Amino acid sequence: MVRPLGHPGWLGRVRLRGYDGGMSNTAVNIDKMSPTERLDLIEKLWESLADSPPDLTAEQRAELRRRSGDLDDDIAAGRPLGRPWAEIRARLNGKTDKP
Q: What digits encode the pLDDT tens for the residues 53-67?
A: 788 999 999 999 999
Q: What's the CA gap between 38 and 31, in Å, rounded?
A: 9
User: How much is the CA Rg of the chain, to the nearest whole Å?
Assistant: 20
Q: Who wins on pLDDT, 41 or 4?
A: 41
- For the full predicted model, state whether its pTM sits above 0.75: no
- Please give the residue that has the higher pLDDT: either 6 or 49: 49
**Higher pLDDT pick, 22 / 3:** 22
Residue 77 has pLDDT above 80, yes or no: yes
Of the candidates 53, 33, 54, the residue with the CA atom closest to the CA atom of residue 42: 33
State what percent of residues in the chain have pLDDT above 70: 70
Q: Can you tell me the distance from the alpha carbon of 79 to that of 62, in angstroms, rounded to the nearest whole number?
A: 23
